[in-house]
């Protein structure tokens, strides 16, 4: 069961992080040319991540020696990253790639270094997100027990995040990794925890945002029926906000997440309703501000027939 879960995850690493199966100008270059281009990047975090992706492609193409050298360069660049959160993320990506190529010792070394970097992150939200990302790498390395323990630590830190949206984002990250671990009961438990927390938030706009974050993550995980219900809850919350300015803005944020989830027709339906609500704002300057926001989204977000 665990093996199947990580076949899915590593397929995601290939398709999403690395872009396997998609033709591009970069893919038409030789690996040596891609590595040379990546090394021109001045930011060591971006450089490390680019090299990791290239190295993973090399390994999957059975260029074992080339992959090892490219990933060695990525490891070196990871050591140059000053921001602990960025360093932890780059090392977690490297560990996941190494695990996907069957290099367990290298993956473990990267995971340990990522944990050390995460320990240096001062800001609670960032540290919690770093731990969730590390747990994903631990899962890729088939260390399910440690992955669960790391997720538990991330979840405990989430409870200390004061910002409502920040806490919601962390819990969504934790739920997402549980999903990849195929720990469905734990995933659903975390989503319930998030929604219970959202319902306890007094500010209706912040409550709506937290619920919308949960809905967007559920949609990202292809839990479409559940996501639809959560989106409906977010819209109900937005509609109940008495202040039309805040209500219109909240509806616009939900519409943005609906569009990100591929629900373009519904997003524009919500924007039309938000526009009508914005037109009821009596203060002309605030009305103009809300209408500008809503109409900007109308022009920017894809239509259903795009």
Q: What is the mean pLDDT of residues 93-112?
A: 95
Residue 13 has pLDDT above 90, yes or no: no
Domain boundaries, the chain: 1-154, 232-306
For 228, the token pair is 């639809």
Integer angstrom CA distances of residue 135 from 39, 66, 92, 184: 28, 28, 9, 16
Residue 28 has pLDDT above 70, yes or no: no
Q: What is the DSSP string of 184-234?
A: HHHHHHHHHHHHHHHHH-SSHHHHHHHHHHHHHHHHHTT-HHHHHHHHHHH
Sign of CA dihedral 234, 204, 129, 139: negative
Q: Which of 7-16, 73-82, 111-120, 205-214 has the lowest mean pLDDT?
A: 7-16
Sign of CA dihedral 38, 110, 105, 156: negative
Nearest CA-CA partner of 249 in 200, 217, 296, 301: 296
Give the burial class of 228: count Cβ atoms within 10 A of its Cβ; 0-12 exposed, 13-18 middle, 19 or more buried.
middle
Residue 25 has pLDDT above 70, yes or no: no
Nearest CA-CA partner of 254 in 228, 279, 276, 280: 228
Please tell me the predicted confidence (pLDDT) of residue 27.
56
**Proportion of the chain above pLDDT 90, given as a percent:** 84
Model confidence over 286-296: pLDDT tens digits? 999 999 999 99
Residue 92 pLDDT grade (very low, low, confident, very high; cuts 50, 70, 90)? very high
Model confidence over 143-189: pLDDT tens digits? 999 999 999 999 999 999 999 999 999 999 999 999 999 999 999 99
Model confidence over 122-132: pLDDT tens digits? 999 999 999 99
Is the domain spanning 1-154 CATH 3.30.43.10? The answer is no
Residue 5 has pLDDT above 60, yes or no: no
Residue 303 pLDDT grade (very low, low, confident, very high; cuts 50, 70, 90)? confident
Residue 3 has pLDDT above 70, yes or no: no
Residue whose token pair is 């100008």: 25
Please tell me the predicted confidence (pLDDT) of residue 29.
76
Residue 16 pLDDT grade (very low, low, confident, very high; cuts 50, 70, 90)? very low
| Three-state DSSP class for residue 175 | helix
Please tell me the predicted confidence (pLDDT) of residue 4.
46
Q: Would you say 19 and 27 are in contact if contact means Cβ atoms under 8 Å apart?
A: yes
pTM of the model: 0.82
Residue 9 has pLDDT above 60, yes or no: no
Q: DSSP state, 80? A: T
């Amino acid at each position: 069961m665990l093996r199947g879960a990580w076949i899915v995850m590593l397929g995601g690493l290939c398709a999403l992080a690395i872009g396997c199966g998609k033709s591009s100008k970069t893919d038409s270059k030789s690996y040596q040319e891609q590595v040379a281009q990546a090394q021109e990047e001045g930011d060591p975090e971006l450089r490390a991540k680019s090299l990791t992706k290239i190295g993973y492609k090399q390994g999957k193409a059975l260029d074992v020696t080339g992959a090892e050298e490219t990933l060695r360069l990525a490891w070196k660049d990871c050591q140059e990253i000053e921001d602990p959160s960025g360093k932890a993320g780059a090392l977690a990506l490297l560990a996941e790639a190494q695990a996907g190529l069957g290099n367990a010792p290298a993956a473990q070394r990267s995971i340990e270094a990522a944990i050390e970097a995460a320990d240096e992150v001062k800001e609670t939200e960032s540290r919690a997100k770093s731990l969730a990302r590390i747990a994903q790498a631990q899962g890729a390395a088939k260390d399910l027990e440690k992955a669960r323990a790391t997720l538990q630590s991330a979840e405990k830190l989430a409870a200390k995040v004061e910002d409502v949206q920040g806490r919601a984002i962390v819990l969504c990250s934790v739920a997402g990794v549980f999903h990849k671990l195929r720990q469905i009961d734990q995933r659903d438990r975390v989503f319930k925890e998030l929604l219970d927390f959202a319902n306890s938030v007094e500010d209706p706009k912040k409550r709506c945002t937290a619920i919308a974050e949960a809905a967007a993550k559920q949609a990202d995980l292809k839990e479409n029926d559940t996501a639809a219900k959560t989106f409906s809850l977010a819209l109900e919350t937005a509609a109940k906000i008495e202040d039309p300015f805040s209500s219109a803005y909240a509806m616009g944020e939900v519409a943005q997440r609906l569009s990100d989830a591929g629900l373009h027709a519904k997003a524009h339906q919500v924007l039309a309703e938000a526009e009508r609500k914005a037109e009821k704002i009596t203060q002309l300057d605030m009305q103009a501000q809300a209408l500008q926001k809503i109409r900007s989204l109308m022009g920017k977000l894809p239509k259903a027939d795009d």
